[in-house]
Amino acid sequence: MSLPSPFPLLARAPVIPVVVIERLEHAVPLARALVEGGLPLIEVTLRTPVALEAIRAIAAEVEGAILGAGTVTEVAHVEASLEAGAAYLVSPGTTHAFAEALSEAPVPVLPGCATVSEAMALSALGFQVLKFFPAEAAGGVPFLKSIAGPLPHLRFCPTGGIGPNNVETYLALPNVVAVGGSWVVPADAIRAGDFGKVRDLAKAASGLKRAVRF
Ligand code: 3PG
């Protein structure tokens, strides 16, 4: 049986903002700014005590947000994220047992990989789009170009070290569906409540062209 496809979601925007919410009151205005800027695919990382509550608040209050849970690293995170309203899950990496658990999730998953062997193991479980993390540190654009030869059926969402200076090089690759990154949600802007800045950064990112066709 095939796994839930992430392609319809990923078709919605070329960039997934990777969000760290320190204060719950920032969640809704931040998500609104991203949606207004044209980046509805918001990944809220499970790295802070309010992350699940933030997912719940955004899912309930922000029309148009397509909310994912990121930094999903344990089986318990899967159920908790789904219960909070996450429409997709993202992991930074995968052990075999964890990948098997992710393959049973009822929503699309971007499981993390950083090597060819990890990509092959995830492909064998039926995943079609993998998070490539940490993208810049693990080989960046040359890695993605190299892996397209032996594994032409796989698509990637590289994340980690991507920003305005290199994002277009990633999106120009035919095996890159979208990229993830935190540059559109700078911690200082969030802390200062400067959601206009987030909206402007999102607008610039949402207009980026990608080579992949849906
Ligand atoms: C992360 O998980 O922190 C993401 O990969 C974001 O990385 P970035 O801050 O380098 O964009």
What would the DSSP string read from start to end of 75-105? HHHHHHHHHHT-SEEE-S---HHHHHHHTT-
Domain assignment present for 1: no
Band (1; pLDDT cuts 50, 70, 90): low
Average pLDDT over every residue of 175-199: 97
63-110 pLDDT tens trace:
999 999 999 999 999 999 999 999 999 999 999 999 999 999 999 999
Element (H, E) at 211: none
144-180 pLDDT tens trace:
999 999 999 999 999 999 999 999 999 999 999 999 9
Active site residue 83: no
Active site residue 203: no
In this structure, the residue with its CA closest to atom 7 of ligand 1 is 160
Q: Which residue segment(s) compose the domain that 17 sits in?
A: 7-206
Q: Find the catalytic residue in 36, 43, 63, 83.
A: 43
Has this prediction a pTM greater than 0.75? yes
In this structure, the residue with its CA closest to atom 3 of ligand 1 is 160
In this structure, the residue with its CA closest to atom 8 of ligand 1 is 160
Element (H, E) at 144: helix 140-147
Domain assignment present for 212: no
CATH number of the CATH domain containing 122: 3.20.20.70
Domain assignment present for 22: yes
Q: Give yes or no for residue 93 CB within 6 A of ligand 1.
A: no
Average pLDDT over every residue of 182-208: 97
Nearest CA to 166 out of 141, 198, 131, 147 is that of 141
**Domains in the chain: how many in total?**
1
CB atoms within 10 A of CB 8: 11
